[in-house]
């Protein structure tokens, strides 16, 4: 019976790990978009703006 608790804890830990990684990726994407918006003028001025 004890092993079920260990298994449950392991599964919960893996779910938490995956959710935290997804959260980090999402945050980085948002920060990247805000950075591009803020510095769009400068990037255009220096002709480094990424082509879409």
Is the model's pTM score more than 0.75?
A: no
Model pLDDT for residues 24-47, shown as the tens digit of each residue: 998 888 887 877 777 776 777 766
pLDDT at 19: 96
Model pLDDT for residues 4-18, shown as the tens digit of each residue: 999 999 999 999 999
Residue 22 above 90 pLDDT?
yes
3-state SS string for 2-46: HHHHHHHHHHHHHHHHHHHHHHHHHHHHHHHHHHHHHCHHHHHHC
């Amino acid at each position: 019976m004890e092993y079920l608790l260990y298994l449950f804890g392991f599964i919960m830990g893996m779910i938490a790990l995956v959710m935290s990684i997804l959260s980090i990726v999402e945050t980085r994407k948002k920060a990247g978009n805000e950075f591009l918006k803020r510095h769009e003028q400068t990037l255009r001025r220096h002709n480094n703006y990424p082509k879409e």
